[in-house]
Amino acid sequence: MSEAPLPLDATPPQVSLVVPLYNEADNVAPLVQDVFAAMAAQSRSWELVLVDDGSADDTPKRLTEQHDAHPDRVRVLTLQRNFGQTAAMQAGIDVAQGEVVVTLDGDLQNDPADIPAMVDRLLAEDLDLLAGWRKNRKDNRWLRTIPSRIANRLIGKATKVYLHDYGCSLKVFRGSVIRGVRLYGEMHRFIPAWISVYTSPNRIREQVVNHRPRVHGVSKYGLSRTFRVIVDLLAVYFFLRFLTKPGHFFGRIGLAFGALGGAALGYLFLLKLFVGEDIGGRPLLLAGIMLVLMAVQFLTTGVLAELLTRTYFATSRTCPYVIRYDSHAPDLAR
């Protein structure tokens, strides 16, 4: 069940906390208790959005109990089935009403006590994203910590957004920015990279946060996520670098193949013309022809991608830019 929307004359909360949960029944009550204790120390109005990602245990029941106990603070979303952490997080962000949006895991390893200070810093330094850094992780070193460090370095090299801990779910966003980002697949790990499409990397910072050992439930992550990270990283790299100019991506590959194929065919042509050698049975001839054909395919794919991109931006409300401030519309800037 979900809480009824705020009446039209109600003031939206200043801070929205979004927590996706999947089979975390024993963690629900302690999580809500920790959140209330942490947010009581600050003066901003807030709401807690709990998203049940199709849990198969008693998580929905425990969430309903928390909503009934705190109807003015707690909102519960129950997804039809298990869609994954990214979709659950997006569902929570879609209904969050706060100027500041905070995300964290429901396994109690993120400490809600870090949230007030992070919100204060985001607003004081006029940032768009403040990411948590689990500097002292309480996870298995070989199965989670070391693979995570390797992944963080790869993501930083590919996206040019350098953070120590991409995988930490405790993040604080400016609401107007995160609402412009749509998350799909398993892209929650790359939120800082997606944010960099809409804002300057200089407006993205990180802060050391407390990381607690898991007490209840089991981890939903394993080594299998490494392969998903690699595939997702390729997609992120393409969209970050070539979202508005896909022709450049395919064109570079096409020109490289064309140059190699042209050089091979040119070499064989000179051998035939000046040396008189038979080139019909040479493997290099077939390789050269294949490279030229591949070059033509990549170049035409680039042209088609450019046409699709222009059609997309022309027929949708999406723009290839983001305006942060307009002197003639100051109420739109934030």
DSSP codes joined into one string, 278-299: --TT-HHHHHHHHHHHHHHHHH
> pTM of the entire structure?
0.74
- The Cα 161–Cα 190 span in angstroms is 10
Would you say 240 and 156 are in contact if contact means Cβ atoms under 8 Å apart?
no
pLDDT of residue 334: 43
pLDDT of residue 1: 44
The rounded radius of gyration (Å) of the Cα atoms in the chain is 25
Which residues face 78 on adjacent strands?
52
Taking alpha carbons only, the member of 132, 104, 136, 107 closest to residue 117 is 132
pLDDT of residue 72: 93
All structural domains of the chain with their residue ranges: 15-241, 246-315
CA dihedral 228, 231, 233, 238 (to 10 degrees): -150
Helical axes 191-198 vs 225-242, angle rounded to 10° = 10
Architecture of the domain defined by 15-241: Alpha-Beta Complex (3.90)
- The Cα 175–Cα 235 span in angstroms is 25
Mind listing the pLDDT tens digit of every residue in the chain (334 residues)? Answer: 444 455 444 688 999 999 999 999 999 999 999 999 999 989 999 999 999 999 999 999 999 999 999 999 999 999 999 988 888 999 999 999 999 999 999 889 999 999 999 999 999 999 999 999 988 877 655 555 666 677 777 777 777 788 888 888 899 999 999 988 888 766 777 888 888 877 888 899 999 999 888 777 566 555 556 666 677 777 777 777 777 788 888 999 999 999 999 999 999 999 988 888 888 888 999 999 999 999 999 999 999 988 887 787 677 666 665 566 565 655 544 4
Cβ atoms within 10 Å of 235's Cβ, excluding its own = 14
pLDDT of residue 86: 87
Taking alpha carbons only, the member of 171, 156, 48, 182 closest to residue 118 is 171
What are the percentages of helix, strand and coil residues in the chain, rounded to 5? Answer: 50, 10, 35
pLDDT of residue 324: 62
